[in-house]
Each structure stands twice: as C-alpha cells, then as structure tokens.
Structure 1
Amino acid sequence: MRIAVVGAGGVGGFFGARLAAAGDEVTFVARGRHLEAIRADGLSVRSALGDLRVAPEAVVPSIADVPAADVVLVAVKLWDTEDVAKQLRPLAEAGATVISLQNGVQKDDVLREHLPARSVMGGACYISAFIEEPGVVRHNGTLQKLVFGEFGAHGAEPSRRAGALLDRCAAAGIEAEVSPAVERVIWEKFVFLTGLSGTTSAVRQPIGVVRGTPGSRALLRDVMREAAAVGRARGVDLDAGLADERLAFCDTLPADMTSSMHNDLKNGNRLELPWLSGAVADLGRELGVPAPRNQAIADVLSPYVMGAPATGAE
C-alpha cells in the first residue's frame, strides 16, 4: 500500500515506521530540524516493541512532493489542519483515503470543507510517543492502537478500503480495528483527552496529583461531563455514564502520566487548547449546553495558547 504520513512526530513517526517495516511504500512529510535530521540519518523509532529505522529518502518537505498515495494519515497539530487539507486535495481527488489521527472533534469537519467528503474516513489513535530529538521518535510504554471506519456506517460491514488498511496494520504489528461507529469513538477519546489535557495543564501536575486531590478530581470529572453533554447535543450516541467511566479509567493510569498539552505548556510551545477545552466551550455556546469548567480552563490557559507569553520585563 502507498501511504503518505503528514507529520512525522510521535504519532505519524511511529505508525508510519511500522507500516514501512512491513513493506508498505511510506512517504513522510516533515519540516524544520526534524526534516533535516531525517534527511541526514533517517528516522529512528525507539520502542519497547522493537526499534525501527526508516531510510532518509522516505521523507519529503511538502505534500506536493508525494507522488501518489492510497492512504494519507494526517498527524499534524490541529492548527495546521486547514492548511494541510487544502494541500491534500490533488491526492484526494486522485483517489486517496484521508484519515486524521489528530486529537479533537472538529478535524474531520475541516477536512471535508476542502476535500471530497467520500475521501475522508474517521480515525483515532491511542499511543504515547513524541519527538525525543530531531530525527528520533520515542514510544512510551507498549500501547499503540488505531481505530478507523466510515462515517455513517451504522453497523455495516467494513468497507473494502478499511479492510485493506486493517490487513496492513496486522502485517505491521499495529493493534487496529474497524469501527462501525467511528464518530462515537472519536468523541469518547475526546471526552477523556479534554479532561486529561485540561486538568494536567491547568493544575500543572500529572494525573496522579489531579485525581488524588478532591478539588481537582471534581474538576476532572466535570470537564469530562461537560464534553460528553456537548457531544450528545451534537447527536453523538454517548453513554450517560461515560464521564464517570473515564474517571475510573484515569484511576488506572500511571500516577506520573501527563498530557502532550501539559508538556507543550512546560516547554513554552503553542497549545491545542482552542480545539480541546476551548472547543467544548465554543460548541456548548452554539448548542446551548453550559460548559463553565471548560471555559474556565480555556480562560486560565489563554495567555499561553501561542507559547510562553512575554512578561514585559526589561
């Protein structure tokens, strides 16, 4: 299978490298120091499941440099989605299936604004991985899973293209499944991720501290309840007890686990906040669903959205 991976960071780098190792023709789109390092020495993936290395010639600096693709995996930060969608149109019109592995619940709406709706398949990923240094991706732990499927499948058998990708994932040792309710899967992940990212960032502590302190534990629960309520108002079939179930799941996580947004906050990087707690608050307003806890997190962290703010000190 010809696969283009747009964004060769933790998510794209790991899954793309495993597919490449299984014999698929994978082209990575990267930029900056990461691109330069891959061009010089290839892409290295360090993982408890086995280290991998992708040859330097597998990386290109632009989507326009991808000759052809059967599947495009989008793994860039959420603020780049619209720009990437515009650039993907020639590949999509030529028949490529586009699957976003990004966080958030608005990503596929953005893709469908610029691409043929038929070309967009829903997707979600479950992994902890990051760029350890330019040219090197580190996979934390052993969790690595992809879920994808056609929008509006409603219990139908997997489509031919979904089944083909599932086969390639199996060959690559990637845990994967085709979901007949992929929009619900995306929202279920979003509910959890909004809680994890919002609270670890606002409290500036890992999940162990958040869940172990009564006030911040209540905040975590309420943030997820608000997100789930917004999803239901959007017509997504989410269980009434989803937030409480996700809270129980948080109790099983390693105490030192944090979120990518918390890491970005600590490192002074731009935040995906507007597409997480900010999105819950914005969508809640549109739908008439109160989301005061998510709004508070969006407000508290707003000075850091574009990175560490200038202090004004001389």
Structure 2
Amino acid sequence: MKILIMGSGGVGGYYGSVLFRNGHDVKFIARAEHLEKINSNGLIIKSVTSGNYTVKSDAYDSVPINFSPEIILFTVKAYDNSDAIEIISSAMSKTTSLITLQNGVGSSDLLKNRFPSNNIISGVTYVDSFVTSPGKIVEQGGPCNIIIGNQFQPNDPTVSLIRDIFAKSKINIAISSSIESEIWSKLIYICALSGMMCITRSSMHSIMNYKETYEMTREIVQEVYQVSTAMKIALKPNIVDLTMEQLKTNSRSIQSSMQTDLFKGKNIEVDYLNGAVSKFGKKYGVKTPINEYIFRTLSLHNA
C-alpha cells in the first residue's frame, strides 16, 4: 500500500514508521532540519509500544514525482493546514483516502471544502509520542490507539479496509459509527490538558493536586461538555467525571505537545482547541469564560 505521511512529527512520524516496518511503501513529508536528518540518518524511533528501530525511507518537502498514494495520513498542526492542503492536492485522486488525526475540531470540514467528502476519513488518536530532536521520535507507551469513521458517509466501506490495513501492521485501531462524538470526547480532554499546562506553565501533576487549578480544569471540561450538548453531539453523560479521572491518573507522565511548542517559541493550536470552544459557545448561546480566557491570553503567543 502506498501511503503518504503529511506531517512527520510525533503522530505522523510514529505511525508512518510502524506502517513502513510492516511492508508498506511510505513516504514522509517533513521540513527543515527534521527533513535533513531523516534523509541522512533515517527516522529514529524509540518506542515503548513498538520497540526501538530506524526507518530508512526518504523524506520530502512535497509529494514526490510519480508517487500516487492510496492513503494520506494528515497529521500536521492545525495552523499549517493551508500549506499542507496545497502540498497534498496534487496527490489526491478519486480513490485516495485522506485520514485526518489532528487535534481540535473542524479539520474534516476544512478538508471537505477542498476534496470530495467520500475521500475524507475523520479520526482521533491517543498516543504519547513526540519529536525529541530532528530525525528522532519517542513514543512513551500508554493507549497508543486510533479511532476512525467517515463523518459524512457513515457506511463508507473504505473505513473497514483502512482498519484492516492498520491492524495488520499491529496498530491498535477501531471504527466508530459516531466519530464526531469521539472527536469531541478528545477535545474535552485536550482543552483541559493543553489549556491548563500552557496557561500555568506547569505540569499536569501540579495542576491536578492544587485546589484552585483542579477546579479550573474541571470548569474547562464542563464548559466543553455544555457546548457539545447544545450542539446535540452525543457524549457519555459522565464524561466530565471520566475526563477528570483520566487526567488525574495520567498526571505524572502526560505531556502536552502544545506546551512543548509554547516553550520552543513555535505557534500553538489554541485557536482550534479552547478557541473553537469559545467560538461554538457564542454560536449556540453557551457561556465559556474559562476557555475564552485561555484562548485570548494564549493567542498573544501566535501574534
């Protein structure tokens, strides 16, 4: 299977490397020093789930000539969407499946505005992996799974084919008949995690063990749930408690890629996380003061 990884960071780079090891023809789109290191030394993976290995596959800054991918894994940061869409547009055909595993909401709708809806597979992933230095990715264990579905055509048979391809490559993957609910379930989690870690510049363990920041975290989760309810997105009725328990359980080890980007001086995805909650809250008449405060405060970083 010919697979293009559009965004070879912690998520795309890790999953692309697993697919490559299992016999697929995988090409990586990367940039700058990360691109150079992959081409000179290979993509070096240190993984609790998959082991330690080096992938010797070429990386590119655009789709290689005469490479027609059957699957494109779309894993760039949301603020790079416009550039990434232009890059992959030449590789899209009527039969290409475009799988988006981005954080936040709106990715699938954005892609649908450019490409046929039957090509677009929405998804979420729970994986603790990140680029430690150019050409090197660490995956630290934990759930390490993907959930996919076609948001626009729920009975799309391609979804099952993709699940089987990934499963045979030893990737933990499942299909959801309500993928939008899965996306919002993760949004609740990631808004609390990344929003709080960035606004406090602290670890999640510290946040969850201090009364004021614990309560603020719960307010974020509650606001996102209230917005999803107003939008008639079906989530578990106890999602607030479940999310807080998950954050508490994982607090010692969990990291936020948005906080990592913040500390490195890179752009951050707050517009597509807490900012999106604020936007939808206003649209549906739900007050979201904590999410809006986080969005407004952190948006200065991207200015």
How far the C-alpha of 1:153 sits from its partner, in A, is 5.8
**Alignment partner, residue 13 of structure 2:** 13
Give 3-state SS (helix, strand or coil) of 1:93's partner.
Answer: coil
Conserved? CA contact 1:85–1:115, under 8 Å:
no
Conserved? CA contact 1:92–1:116, under 8 Å:
no
How far the C-alpha of 1:144 sits from its partner, in A, is 1.3
Letter in 2 for 1:53: T
Letter in 1 for 2:134: P
Shifted more, 4-13 versus 297-306: the winner is 297-306
Letter in 2 for 1:79: Y
How far the C-alpha of 1:241 sits from its partner, in A, is 2.5
**Alignment partner, residue 223 of structure 1:** 220
Any gaps of 5 or more consecutive residues in structure 1? 307-314
How far the C-alpha of 1:206 sits from its partner, in A, is 1.2
Identify if the C-alpha distance between structure 1 residues 263 and 11 changes in structure 2 by more than 3 Å, giving closer, same or farther: same
How far the C-alpha of 1:302 sits from its partner, in A, is 2.6
2:236 aligns with one of 233, 239, 243: 239
Instruction: Report sequence identity in percent.
Output: 28
**Alignment partner, residue 146 of structure 2:** 146
**1:84-99 residue pairs with structure 2 within 5 A?**
84-99=84-99
How far the C-alpha of 1:227 sits from its partner, in A, is 1.2
Conserved? CA contact 2:128–2:254, under 8 Å:
no
Conserved? CA contact 1:68–1:91, under 8 Å:
yes
Give 3-state SS (helix, strand or coil) of 2:128's partner.
Answer: strand
Q: Does 1:296 align with 2:282?
A: no
Give 3-state SS (helix, strand or coil) of 1:108's partner.
Answer: helix
How far the C-alpha of 1:242 sits from its partner, in A, is 1.3
Identify if the C-alpha distance between structure 1 residues 66 and 32 changes in structure 2 by more than 3 Å, giving closer, same or farther: farther
Q: Does 1:176 align with 2:173?
A: yes
Return the TM-score normalized by structure 2: 0.94
Letter in 1 for 2:3: I
Conserved? CA contact 2:39–2:57, under 8 Å:
yes
**Alignment partner, residue 70 of structure 1:** 70
Return the TM-score normalized by structure 1: 0.91
Conserved? CA contact 2:27–2:57, under 8 Å:
no
How far the C-alpha of 1:260 sits from its partner, in A, is 1.1
Letter in 1 for 2:298: L
**Alignment partner, residue 53 of structure 1:** 54
Letter in 2 for 1:198: G
Identify if the C-alpha distance between structure 1 residues 76 and 213 changes in structure 2 by more than 3 Å, giving closer, same or farther: same
**Alignment partner, residue 162 of structure 2:** 165
Q: Does 1:185 align with 2:182?
A: yes
How far the C-alpha of 1:94 sits from its partner, in A, is 3.5
Conserved? CA contact 2:105–2:184, under 8 Å:
yes
**Alignment partner, residue 112 of structure 2:** 112
Letter in 1 for 2:21: A
Letter in 1 for 2:257: S
Q: Does 1:276 align with 2:277?
A: no
Letter in 1 for 2:157: R
Q: Deviations over 1:10-64 (max 9, x none)?
A: 101110000111111111111111111111121111112311222143x221036
Give 3-state SS (helix, strand or coil) of 1:63's partner.
Answer: coil
Give 3-state SS (helix, strand or coil) of 2:76's partner.
Answer: coil
Conserved? CA contact 2:118–2:152, under 8 Å:
no
Q: Deviations over 1:249-307 (max 9, x none)?
A: 1121142423111122222221111111111111211221111010111122232225x
Conserved? CA contact 2:118–2:153, under 8 Å:
no
| 2-structure distance, mates of 1:39, 1:9 | 15
Letter in 2 for 1:78: A
Identify if the C-alpha distance between structure 1 residues 75 and 240 changes in structure 2 by more than 3 Å, giving closer, same or farther: same
Letter in 2 for 1:45: I
Give 3-state SS (helix, strand or coil) of 1:51's partner.
Answer: strand
| 1-structure distance, mates of 2:66, 2:249 | 41
Q: CA RMSD in A?
A: 1.7
Conserved? CA contact 2:3–2:72, under 8 Å:
yes
Shifted more, 262-271 versus 176-185: the winner is 262-271
Q: Deviations over 1:102-124 (max 9, x none)?
A: 10111111111111111111111
Kindly tell me the number of residue pairs found equivalent between the two proteins. 302
Conserved? CA contact 2:100–2:123, under 8 Å:
yes
How far the C-alpha of 1:198 sits from its partner, in A, is 0.5
Letter in 2 for 1:292: P
